Amino acid sequence: MERHRTSNPDMKRQNVRTLSLIVCTFTYLLIGAAVFDALESENEINLKNELLQHEKKMIEKFNISEEDFEKIRINVLHSKPYKAGVQWKFSGALYFSLLVVSLIGYGHSTPKTVFGKLFCMGYALAGIPLCMIMFQSVGERLNTFVTYILKNIKKCFRFKKTEVSQTDVLFITLSLSSLILTTGTLLFSELENWSIIDSVYYCFITLTTIGFGDFVAMQKDNILQTRPGYVFFVLLFILVGLTVISAAMNLLVLRCLTLNSEDEKRDEMEAAEAARNAVRLNGDVITGNGGVVSNANETPEYQDTVSVCSCSCYKWRSPNSGKIYNSNPNINHVTSFSVAKEDEMSEETDSFLQWQKAKRASF
């Protein structure tokens, strides 16, 4: 019961955070809808009228029946990818595979056969986690490398503090991301004859993995087959870009996961403290009966409060603390141990709170 009373308020706090995130997202969506409506609606109407007038002209000029024009429409829409070049020979298929597993999914060319669609789903099912883990892993390595370099630079210039904060690393990775974005923008605007706005828009939509597919590289003059060097550059741009962004995401996502894991840690602290009190009681009663059962029962309790969090300290989760009581029914040992635990625990609680404050400050 004690445990429940301590953990409930924290559960509430985490639910409140989640609820406020939901409210924020919905508000953000409504604001976005309003702004996009304001920005695009008028242009949409004008463009639509323009296109319809032009269509009418063509229909009249060539005296095409509505039925036939619909046939032409369908034909044009279906043949769009094939007009751009061969899409499914090896280099094109490799481009498509990368677009699937990286979640970009332009959709400039998609499988048309049933087996193609089925394989695409199976391929994505295994490929997406693999790709995600790969990018996260490389991103994490990149962060470690950046940290190492930064630390050595700080040492070289004899800084007082040689330790490197997550913020420093995040700053570097975000700078790298914008460098890649800029390079891509300039190169694609040159190679694809896009305006700078369209080019930066393409790079941004690609590297965020939104991948609208309104602008797609290598979709003219059969480039996929004729210019392997360019194909290599585009694949490299996507891979390097996504790696650097993953490095930033690795820090950002971990930072946000930390908020929950901090709560989990506090839950454990409280649960552990509650458990310690319980153990003390056992310590007094142990002469009568080594009340180990109640102590053994504690462990799962922490486990299911932290089950979704890999960040929480394994120590309280480990049955060791329990084992010690089991293996040593010696009261002196229990008392001395529980006292040692008490010091260490309060010391830890302090250090945890300090660390938490420091973390909050560094935000």
Query: Phi first, then psi: what are they for 318, rounded to 5°?
Result: -70, 140
* Distance of closest approach, residue 24 Cβ to a copy of itself, in angstroms: 6
- For residue 251, give the nearest of 192, 357, 173 by alpha carbon: 173
Q: Which of residues 102-121 bind a copy of itself (CB under 8 A)?
A: 103-107, 110-121
Contact 180, 204 (CB under 8 A): no
Q: Which of 3, 6, 10, 64 is the binder for a copy of itself (CB under 8 A)? A: 64
Binding mask 302-321 vs a copy of itself (x if CB under 8 A, - otherwise)?
Answer: -xxx-xxxxx-xxx-xxxx-
Task: Candidates 218-226, 268-276, 285-293, 299-307: pick the segment binding a copy of itself (CB under 8 A).
Answer: 299-307
CB count within 10 Å of CB 283 equals 19
Contacts of 202 (CB under 8 A, 6+ apart): 188, 192, 194, 215, 216, 217
Of 195, 201, 227, the C-alpha closest to 86 is: 227
CB of 231 to a copy of itself, least distance (A): 11
- From CA 355, how far away is CA 351, in angstroms rounded? 6
- Of 70-78, 219-227, 268-276, 285-293, the segment contacting a copy of itself by CB under 8 A is 70-78
Nearer to a copy of itself, 157 or 314 (CB): 314
Size of the site for a copy of itself (CB under 8 A): 157
Minimum distance between the CB of residue 280 and a copy of itself, rounded to whole angstroms?
19
Q: How far is the CB of 233 from a copy of itself (least distance, A)?
A: 16
Using CB under 8 A, which residues numbered 128 to 187 contact a copy of itself?
128-134, 136-138, 140-141, 143-144, 147-148, 151, 161-166, 169
Q: Closer to a copy of itself at the Cβ: 22 or 285?
A: 22
Picking from 225, 239, 263, 26, the residue whose alpha carbon sits closest to that of residue 142 is 239
Q: Minimum distance between the CB of residue 18 and a copy of itself, rounded to whole angstroms? A: 4
Within 5-24, the residues that bind a copy of itself by CB under 8 A are 11, 14-15, 17-18, 21-22, 24
What is the nearest approach in angstroms of a copy of itself to the Cβ of residue 277?
20
- Using CB under 8 A as the binding rule, the residues of this chain from 33 to 52 that contact a copy of itself are 33-37, 39-41, 43-44, 47-48, 51-52
Name which of residues 217 to 246 contact a copy of itself (CB under 8 A).
none
- Distance, in Å, from the CA atom of 65 to the CA atom of 211, rounded to the nearest integer, reads 36
Q: Quick check: 257 binds a copy of itself (CB under 8 A)? A: yes
Alpha-carbon distance of 315 to 352, in angstroms, equals 14
Listed in sequence order, the residues at least 6 apart from 200 whose beta carbon sits closer than 8 Å to its beta carbon are 181, 185
Q: Using CB under 8 A, which of 284, 328, 340, 342 touches a copy of itself?
A: 340
